[in-house]
A = this chain, B = another copy of it.
Amino acid sequence: MHELLKRFYAGDRRALARVITLIENEMPERDEILKELYFKTGKAYIIGVTGSPGAGKSSLVDQLIKMIRSRGETVGVIAVDPTSPFTGGALLGDRIRMQEHSLDRDVFIRSMGTRGSLGGLSRTTKDVVKMIDAFGKDWVIVETVGVGQAELDIMHIADTTIVVLTPGAGDSIQAIKAGIMEIADVFAINKCDLPGADRVAAEVETMLELKGQKDGWVPPVVPVSTVTCDGLDNLLQSIVRHGDYLKQNGAFEDSRKKRSRSEALNIVNHQWQSLVRKHLNGPGYINDILLNVTEKKMDPYTAADIIMEWIISKHVTEGGIA
């Protein structure tokens, strides 16, 4: 552990990969690592990229990596693949294009499933963002496929959220329906070399006018093409402008504070749930109470009160958290 962290602090990429694996697999070292590295977090600028399958997010992230590197800055990428809640297997695994960066030691790329969180971003994803941040990367890009909760969760992680739309696919209408209009700090209208891109951009602009501003920031609508490379500079500039805006009005610091705060509270709830789960294993008092509920001898509200009091008194008599 000590040796691993020493290598981590020395900038060894394999140590970062190893730390992430320990966290993903919930190994015993996990909490200790997260505790220690927490104090190193908070410096990286975090970009979220979301949009429908086929919107060209990976190619766009690819171009962002190149532009960030040409500024002499370092970057880590987390590509979140949608995972079936049942099979546990990632369905999209095509990260091959990104491998062109694999020889660049200032680019770190990791693919992750969403397992365990039914389509949302898992706690692990958030922890991995922190590890890349603690490792010292200037930027962290989190790419999520826009099917469900993950695309809504991204705004709680990212400083700047980019929503990628494309012409043709009825994307702008989809965007309102899933509520993702509200999460965008920047709209990238990808495949702007294709017909219909102007119309999508215009539709989004109209909706933004109807909705008004988001905390004083009007999300720019940036046409881009990863084929012709049009608009890519403009996209990065929009991100940087949004970052400057957040830093100037204090929102950048604020959101970091809010994230740490809600993280601590999430851990409190998580601990509580572990405590409940501990008492559920095997036969015992709680299971007897629950049996009364399933047999309709007791309502679940009364049962919940009894269970809660029992867990708390048990916890106190057993001398608190181990």
Residues of chain A having any CB pair with chain B under 8 Å: 31, 34-36, 38-39, 42, 53, 82-87, 91-92, 118-120, 145, 147-149, 152, 174, 176-179, 181-182, 256-257, 260-261, 263-265, 267-273, 276, 280, 289-290, 293-294, 296, 299-305, 307-309, 311-313, 315-316, 320-321
CA distance A302 to B32 in the complex (A): 10
In contact, A120 and B147 (Cβ under 8 angstroms): no
Other-chain residue from B85, B145, B179, B290 in contact with A82 (beta carbon distance below 8 A): B179
> A224 CB to closest chain B CB, in angstroms?
24
Q: Which residue of B lies closest to A82 (CB)?
A: B177
Q: Which residues of B are found within 8 Å of A276, using beta-carbon distances?
A: 265, 268-269
Q: Could you say how many copies of this chain the assembly holds?
A: 2
Between A177, A293, A307, A311, the greatest number of chain B beta carbons within 10 A of the residue's beta carbon is seen for A177
CA distance A273 to B269 in the complex (A): 7
In contact, B269 and A269 (Cβ under 8 angstroms): yes
Q: Which residues of B are found within 8 Å of A272, using beta-carbon distances?
A: 269, 272, 308
CA distance A293 to B261 in the complex (A): 7
Given contacts A264-B304, A312-B315, 10 further A-B contacts (CB under 8 A): A34-B301, A42-B296, A91-B177, A145-B177, A148-B149, A264-B303, A271-B304, A272-B308, A309-B320, A309-B321
Q: Which residue of B lies closest to A321 (CB)?
A: B305
CA distance A303 to B31 in the complex (A): 13
Q: Which residues of B are found within 8 Å of A83, using beta-carbon distances?
A: 179
CA distance A271 to B273 in the complex (A): 12
Q: Which residues of B are found within 8 Å of A260, using beta-carbon distances?
A: 290, 293-294, 296, 300
In contact, B265 and A308 (Cβ under 8 angstroms): no
Q: Which residues of B are found within 8 Å of A35, using beta-carbon distances?
A: 299, 301-302
**Nearest 5 CB-CB pairs, A to B?**
A267-B304, A264-B300, A257-B294, A148-B148, A38-B299
Other-chain residue from B39, B264, B290 in contact with A264 (beta carbon distance below 8 A): B290
